[in-house]
Structure 1
Amino acid sequence: MSSTTPSRFRLDDLIIDLERQRVTRADAVLDVSGLSFRLLACLLRRGVEVVPFDTLIAQVWAPAVVNEETVTQRVKLLRQALGDDGRQPRYVRSVRGRGYQLCAMPEALADADAEAAGDATAPPRRARAWLAVPVVLVLILAAASAMRGRDPTTPPPTPRDETLERARHYFAMGQRDNNERAVALYEQALQVQPSREARLGLSVALSARVCLYDFPWEQADRARQLAESLIAEDGSDAAAHSARGYALDCLGRIDDAIASYTRAIALDPAGREDSVASLAYLLGVKGQLAEALRLNLSVLDHRSRLRHLDNQIARDLELLGFDVEAEQWYARSFRLQPDNVFANVAWPTFLFRQGRYSEAERAADEALARPHHPELQVLLGQLALLRGDRARAADFFAQAEQARPHLGRLRTLRLLHGEQPATPARIAARIAELDAPTTPENQWPETFLELGWLECARGDTAAARVAIDRAIDAGMLDRASLLASPLFACVREVPGFAAALDRIAARVGEERARVLAAPWLPADLLTVTPSAP
């Protein structure tokens, strides 16, 4: 480092030594290294300017290809190392939609003063001002250095850092193959050093294996164990609680998942928008539609990173009876996210629930040419049943089960609508499995709907109606599906079915009233006078 270029800076009560790549507070050396230090150095060179995401990616991560989520996670790690609080930042501030900036102008220190400052405990304003060098001069010198080659103040990433960054990169890209690459890289990083970053990343990627890519539930249980090991070491780690929630979510333990997501948000309300969206989804499953919509709308600014958010908002609006608005959200997502497997099934399924079967079939045929979820085959199977084509329906249900053999609901559809008639013994065995008190599936409303299909198949329509009542008790408020789907044909003729629909209408009415009276409801969300549910 040239003697004319300051190598040490004061930022509030921190002393940052670019040459030694060290951050100290009083006599303590803080654990800021690798990419975290490179990020801090990049922000330092810009003073209090807002540093855009693209600039941070280019100067800190290049030539690696990363996205904004990677930057956000690294800022969280830097804040943790500095003891900073994202809700009341002291060192690094987020500028929504733009990037990050330092909270105060750093002072470049003469070397002699910096030595003394390392032992000083007085606030930074008491430092002798005549020794401070304007940061703008440092920026000019740094820019000149960059023209000659790599910035000498930016330390090269370590092999472990590079492995973790590539793992995060592949995970953020989505799709099964990329997730598998991420898992392999996280496993490699763990072999080198069982760091918190590697365990956290592996936990989330293992949960994704189960929730998104059809792996056995044991993978999610390992994910839970990894997350809980992190929580045991540091109970205030919001990311670890969020990872635990995701694992429990994938294991079907909906109430435990809600508790973990809620804890993550309480620990980091400004930084866990992913947990907010996940919590909103589960509350919607349990019928708490007003709160689900509020939470989803609260993170709308992060929709570019929350790939399922638009569909969740659409679903909330649909269940609340705002069909026109829901259609706009579903259609937009289907049009703008052709690689989103959930968007590709949500739009045709909405059309199906609306009784627009021909439109649903055309949209489903279009979605078949895109990446899609096995629920698309379930939809096509139901459309085939409506047209009386049982052989084609059996083929679609078989395709769905083949894609997700571990999902019991799809096995049940294959059992009931396959080429070979289901035996009473197999139906009874599946009912006993679902009714077992130890199964996590019985926390989900869909489980009781599945029980209704099974009871219909063995001719016990009264038990089928009871199963529908249990689904409503668990939070199922999808009146449209009960009326549109051929899977509920036998229940629709049972005495008491109309009363079940009335129960749903009453609960939806209560949730709808909460939304319409809510101070958080955006003025432009409901563009037309909504019809009654």
Structure 2
Amino acid sequence: MARYRLLDLRIDLDHQTVERAGTRLEVAGLSFRLLACLIEHGDHVVTFDELIAAVWAPAVVNEETVTQRVRLLRQALGDDARAPRYIRTVRSRGYQLGAPVIPDLVEPGRRRLALWPALAAVSVLAVTALGASFLAREEKPVTSAEQEILDRAQWYARIGQRDNNERALALYDRALHEAPDDVDALVGASRTRAARTCLYNGSTDDARDALRIASRAVSVGSDNPRAWSALGYARDCLGDIGGAIAAYEAAVRLDPDDDATRSSAAYLYQEQGRLADAMRANLDMRGDPGRVRYREVQLAREYELLGFVTQAGQRYKRIFELAPDNVFGNLGWPAYLFAHGRFDEARAAVAEARQRDTARPELAQLDGELALRRGDHAAAANAFAEAHALRPDASLPGTLVLLHASQPLTGDALAQRIADTRKALVDNPWPASRFELVWLMEAAGDHRGAIAALEEAVAMGWRDTGYLRASPLFATIAADPGFQDVIDSIDRRTRAERERVLDASWCPSDLPCHEPQKRDPPL
């Protein structure tokens, strides 16, 4: 019998049924055939031509027909195209499953424990009742020589520097050559490749390779939390927020003591505007919080966005002073100073971070915005060009280069850039990605369009009013009443999150916590 699991879905290809938590979903006909085709291709991208041949032949249809059918299938599954869990769009190519599909070996009618139940908010962070015997998996023994390679690779990977990441990657690849199905080797090979993209300005091709390897790790070790965490990291580095959260949550459910993965999920909650969930997850550390890289920066950001500005500044400054090798600390403190109008201090902090060899496009962009504030357009153009050079496959820095060149983008070229950007943003779940469209619409003189793009960023989770007020990139719409409406909308949403924190039993001791009437259950 051909039965499979896709996250919390159970799919029976023979009987053409799809269930979630014992409830059958209305997936039939062409929609089911489309889903079956994706399942048969596993983690591979299925092109439009392949889908048309498998699902519609001998009828003659076009790509729009496929797109419409995918939309109907997503509706039936309860999937969100902006944060897909089950079906991902691969721009200009086709579609692929949003998570590894695994065989479902449970016979119909037998009682079973679902390994991936539907998760809501951060309830996944609770310790589940799965027994160790249920999660146990017999894995191929590793020879001492292979283990020595893995141990050395892990040692290099923990250091966190670019050169050492490359040394770790080479060792993991060597281990994979000896043992292609070893989960630890697959996980390490995936994470070091993803780190190239996320931490060291590498191409997204590295993250795609990481995703392929992590999917293999999950296929080999479906009950291995490290495999799911690596899958989440690869999706995270590719900008797939929904897919990353689903994988991170699966990892934490399998191993509630995995503080690093819990913190990774918290960062993405933060990006979605779920600030209380993010803070709670980052505070719920089962081991030594000091061992969770970047957690302190994330907490500082959560304090800042929730309006606890003094506490946030103290945290950012301490990280900047005590951890000069913390790449996100080197970004966080200058950005905080900038957002709160301390522009001279921000400029000095940017210069110091640059001396620490923090080669990040975000830092170069901030340097450009500081240059614009002081009227130095040439320096701004150079800084934006540097940001683009650091991440040439990213569209947003390229747009800043075009808009602030000696001969800025205008006319038909500007209109085409706007059209291309709109198309590229369709499946992009990152709130700040909408700023590119804001700036293009400003350049075109379309204030209504710029405000609409800004509103979309807020709806997707953007919560930083300080940056919007401080950045000269929003100067042409700052006096528009719609801009103040956006600020007010963020303030309303943030107040609600702030009250959730202050009323919670886990409210941090350095905040003016209320006495909660009803204690929140522990994570």
TM-score by length of 2: 0.69
Aligned to 2:314: 328
Aligned to 1:495: 481
Distance in 2 between residues matched to 1:359 and 1:180, nearest whole Å: 35
Runs of 4+ more than 4 Å apart: 86-91, 437-440, 525-528
Distance in 1 between residues matched to 2:469 and 2:351, nearest whole Å: 23
Question: Could you tell me whether the CA contact under 8 Å between 2:203 and 2:391 is conserved in 1?
Answer: no
The one of 467, 486, 493 aligned to 1:481: 467
Structure 2 counterpart of 1:236, one-letter code: D
- Structure 2 unaligned residues grouped into runs of 5+: 1-126, 133-141, 515-523
The alpha carbon displacement at 1:511 in A equals 0.3
Aligned to 1:521: 507
The alpha carbon displacement at 1:438 in A equals 7.5
Matched, 1:202 2:189: yes
The alpha carbon displacement at 1:433 in A equals 3.1
Distance in 1 between residues matched to 2:513 and 2:320, nearest whole Å: 20
Distance in 2 between residues matched to 1:384 and 1:437, nearest whole Å: 29
The one of 167, 192, 199 aligned to 2:153: 167
Aligned residues: 377
Matched, 1:258 2:245: yes
Aligned to 2:227: 240
Matched, 1:471 2:457: yes
Matched, 1:366 2:366: no
The alpha carbon displacement at 1:356 in A equals 0.9
Question: Could you tell me whether the CA contact under 8 Å between 1:397 and 1:418 is conserved in 2?
Answer: no
Structure 1 counterpart of 2:498, one-letter code: R
Q: Which moved more, 1:488-497 or 1:414-423?
A: 414-423
Distance in 2 between residues matched to 1:445 and 1:90, nearest whole Å: 39
Matched, 1:406 2:393: yes
Aligned to 1:295: 281
The alpha carbon displacement at 1:213 in A equals 1.6
Structure 1 counterpart of 2:273, one-letter code: G
Alignment of 1:109-508 (within 5 A): 158-194=144-180, 195-270=182-257, 272-299=258-285, 302-372=288-358, 373-436=360-423, 440=427, 442-508=428-494
Distance in 2 between residues matched to 1:520 and 1:176, nearest whole Å: 37
The alpha carbon displacement at 1:90 in A equals 11
Distance in 1 between residues matched to 2:499 and 2:464, nearest whole Å: 17
The alpha carbon displacement at 1:472 in A equals 0.6
Matched, 1:510 2:496: yes
The alpha carbon displacement at 1:88 in A equals 9.4
Structure 1 counterpart of 2:501, one-letter code: V
Distance in 1 between residues matched to 2:316 and 2:286, nearest whole Å: 15
Structure 1 counterpart of 2:209, one-letter code: R
The alpha carbon displacement at 1:424 in A equals 3.5
Distance in 2 between residues matched to 1:244 and 1:333, nearest whole Å: 29
Please give the secondary structure, in 2, of the residue aligned with 1:521: coil
Distance in 2 between residues matched to 1:233 and 1:160, nearest whole Å: 18
Please give the secondary structure, in 2, of the residue aligned with 1:472: helix
**RMSD (Å), alpha carbons:** 2.3
Cα distance change, pair 493–522 in 1 and its aligned pair in 2 (3 A): closer
Distance in 2 between residues matched to 1:90 and 1:448, nearest whole Å: 44
Question: Could you tell me whether the CA contact under 8 Å between 1:405 and 1:411 is conserved in 2?
Answer: yes
Cα distance change, pair 366–324 in 1 and its aligned pair in 2 (3 A): same
Deviation per CA, 1:259-306, whole angstroms, max 9, x where unpaired?
Answer: 111111111112x21111111000101100011011111128533332
The alpha carbon displacement at 1:403 in A equals 1.6
The alpha carbon displacement at 1:501 in A equals 1.1
Structure 2 counterpart of 1:406, one-letter code: D
Distance in 1 between residues matched to 2:285 and 2:389, nearest whole Å: 35
Please give the secondary structure, in 2, of the residue aligned with 1:224: helix
Distance in 2 between residues matched to 1:258 and 1:89, nearest whole Å: 21
The alpha carbon displacement at 1:87 in A equals 8.5
Distance in 2 between residues matched to 1:88 and 1:446, nearest whole Å: 38
Please give the secondary structure, in 2, of the residue aligned with 1:334: helix
The alpha carbon displacement at 1:157 in A equals 7.5
Question: Could you tell me whether the CA contact under 8 Å between 2:438 and 2:454 is conserved in 1?
Answer: yes
Please give the secondary structure, in 2, of the residue aligned with 1:304: helix
Deviation per CA, 1:168-203, whole angstroms, max 9, x where unpaired?
Answer: 111111122111111111111111121221111101
Cα distance change, pair 241–90 in 1 and its aligned pair in 2 (3 A): closer
Please give the secondary structure, in 1, of the residue aligned with 2:438: helix
Distance in 2 between residues matched to 1:179 and 1:360, nearest whole Å: 30
The alpha carbon displacement at 1:418 in A equals 2.6
Distance in 2 between residues matched to 1:282 and 1:417, nearest whole Å: 31
The alpha carbon displacement at 1:430 in A equals 3.4
Cα distance change, pair 238–90 in 1 and its aligned pair in 2 (3 A): closer
Distance in 2 between residues matched to 1:499 and 1:482, nearest whole Å: 12
Cα distance change, pair 424–282 in 1 and its aligned pair in 2 (3 A): farther
Distance in 2 between residues matched to 1:210 and 1:435, nearest whole Å: 24
Deviation per CA, 1:423-466, whole angstroms, max 9, x where unpaired?
Answer: 444433333333227854x2110111221011111111110000
Distance in 2 between residues matched to 1:243 and 1:343, nearest whole Å: 23
Question: Could you tell me whether the CA contact under 8 Å between 1:209 and 1:219 is conserved in 2?
Answer: yes
Structure 1 counterpart of 2:152, one-letter code: R
Please give the secondary structure, in 2, of the residue aligned with 1:443: coil
Alignment of 1:51-66 (within 5 A): none
* Identity within the alignment, %: 44
Distance in 2 between residues matched to 1:170 and 1:432, nearest whole Å: 44
